[in-house]
Amino acid sequence: MNNKEKMIELDGAIGEGGGQILRSALTLSMITGQAFRINNIRANRPKPGLMRQHLVAVQAAAQICNAEIGDAGIGAQLLEFVPQKIKGGDYQFAIGSAGSCTLVLQTVLPALLFADKESNIRISGGTHNPMAPPVQFLQRAYGKVLEKMGASIDIQLKRFGFYPAGGGEVLAQIQPCSQLRQISLMERGERESAFAESFIAGVAANVAKRELECVGNGMGWDESQLLVRGLPAEQGPGNVLLLTLEYQHVTEVFCAFGEKMLRAEAVAKNAIQQARHYLASGAAVGEYLADQLMLPMALAGGGKFTTSQISEHAKTNAAVIKKFLPVDISFAENGSCHTCTISNQ
């Protein structure tokens, strides 16, 4: 491959050692034009190397910027990625399993903001599984922040895809954005709405009712805030409980999944605990949104936010971002929450 001597070298075993290292590297490589080599891909996972969803993310990124990727395949722990210019247009990617559509979309979406024209992406696979953010998180939480930064995106969930069957479908329309705006998310602002949704497909209706009853009791919400969302049985079996908190400046989405041998009350308790932790912190954004905000803020040249928790995932992501962009990313404790500051060097 060309430009090997200029490649950014990454160790996939650093920090939490998961797929986020690869995904952030792909995004930033596409945008900056810098080639990279990554060893020890997902070294800290039970099944190291590229899984199906990671390989599709690599292939999607390569197609969008006509990159050289060598012999990338399932289980590979080494990847070299040499990008060319980002091309907008119509793209279709099939994961072929319950592998996450949202993680593939999060890999290519920021890059397509820097494309030469509008892009339309169709991704099929898993839309709701415990190891990835649900589509509603991208629509309501991540998407709201990107729009504040000047991006114009539209994400549509066409069909749910639960683990292990998959079969879901997500569409995204992305307009070019020459420069993202710097923003500061230090406070949530006034609460505008709060509601819970229990989505069920091929699962008894009383599961949703029990989950929502627990949420009502645990959060002090009334019936108008507790919504059963029945889905066609062929999209299941599956169950996901979503708690959405909409504020003036930010929206947060917390989720918990129904599983075999797991009581509906336990699912509800999981979601309630996440929401309560966020509420008690007083922070603007929760742990998972914090992880995803650093990259677009770094692309904007700076930004600042308060968060309920700085995860190992976030620290690892910050280390990767700093390999590609001339930014400083600092974390500071601020009473019951933390402050993350991104600034140009």
Mark whether 338 is an active-site residue: no
Per residue in 104-145, pLDDT (tens digit) is 999 999 999 999 999 999 999 999 988 889 999 999 999 999
Question: How far apart are the C-alpha atoms of 324 and 35, rounded to whole Å?
Answer: 10
Go through the chain and tell me how many residues it has: 345
Question: How far apart are the C-alpha atoms of 155 and 161, rounded to whole Å?
Answer: 15
86-178: CATH topology is UDP-n-acetylglucosamine1-carboxyvinyl-transferase; Chain (3.65.10)
* pLDDT for 166: 86
Residue 61 annotated as lining a ligand binding site = no
* pLDDT for 98: 78
Residue 106 annotated as lining a ligand binding site = yes
**Structural contact between residues 256 and 268, judged by C-beta atoms closer than 8 angstroms:** yes
User: Alpha-carbon torsion 214, 217, 218, 221, what sign?
Assistant: positive
1-84: CATH topology is Translation Initiation Factor IF3 (3.30.110)
Task: Please pick, among 54, 128, 313, 338, the residue that the annotation labels catalytic.
Answer: 313
Domain ranges of the chain: 1-84, 86-178, 191-281
* pLDDT for 1: 40
How far are the Cα atoms of 32, 111, 121, 179 from residue 114, in angstroms, in the given order? 10, 6, 15, 8
Residue 248 annotated as lining a ligand binding site = no
Coil, helix or strand for 306?
A: strand
* pLDDT for 2: 45
What is the average per-residue pLDDT within 71-75? 84
* pLDDT for 345: 79
- Confidence band for 5, pLDDT divided at 50, 70 and 90: low
pTM: 0.93
Percent of residues, the chain, with pLDDT higher than 70: 98
Residue 59 annotated as lining a ligand binding site = no
259, two tokens: 């599983």
191-281: which CATH architecture?
Answer: 2-Layer Sandwich (3.30)
What is the average per-residue pLDDT within 64-91? 92
**Structural contact between residues 265 and 214, judged by C-beta atoms closer than 8 angstroms:** yes
Low-confidence winner among 147-151, 243-247, 315-319 (lowest mean pLDDT)? 315-319
Residue 291 annotated as lining a ligand binding site = yes
